[in-house]
Amino acid sequence: MAALSAGLALNPENPTSLQLNNLKKFLGVKRRQECLLENENWVIIEDFGHHPTAIAQTLTSLRNRHPNAHITACFEPRSNSACTSIFQEGFLDSLTLADQALIGALNRPEKLKESERLNTKEMASMLQSKGRQAHAFSSNEELLAHLQSFAQKPPATHGHLVCFFSNGSFDGIMQKFVAFVR
């Protein structure tokens, strides 16, 4: 769409004359479905997604590209809005698109009243009631330990895809998990 728009702006009579050779060098946007590791058993992705719509669109894209993979979504509620209960239903809907949802520790929970916080344990329970494997963790290190235990089981027939959704570092567990399965 961007190329077509640029072509129309530069040459409305023949928008397809725009040269696109340099697009071959474009590696994509950092932290948007960025592949951290891909081998015969694992695809590990980092995504800046921290809003339900972005997470849903990313999971839909990943499912389309890897239709037979077991998809695990690791979500770190970190942004100011993601930590609140305002998007809880939206996060539930988006995380049901994964086979397994692992919800990390709420960032800076003390800054919110308990009634205003995202309830990660309730989310995990509701996801389980919808037929998804789901867990909420009180620390991101606990989430990493769960992932490492999961990784020691024989891979699914068509491999595993793990996508880390965070607008932060996820306490470094993405890189630790990549090193673990490498």
Domain parsing of the chain, residue ranges: 1-28, 31-181
pLDDT digits over 23-43, tens only? 666 565 566 779 999 998 899
pTM of the shown model: 0.83
User: Coil, helix or strand for 182?
Assistant: coil
pLDDT digits over 69-112, tens only? 999 999 999 999 999 999 999 999 999 999 999 999 999 989 99
pLDDT digits over 144-181, tens only? 999 999 998 866 667 899 999 999 999 999 999 999 99
Query: φ and ψ at 13, to 5 degrees?
Result: -75, -30
Q: How far is CA 162 from the centre of its chain?
A: 8
Provide, rounded to the nearest whole percent, the portion of the chain with pLDDT above 90: 73
Distance CA(16)–CA(29), nearest Å, equals: 25
What is residue 10's predicted lDDT score, i.e. its pLDDT?
Answer: 82
**Check whether domain 31-181 has CATH 3.90.190.20, yes or no:** yes
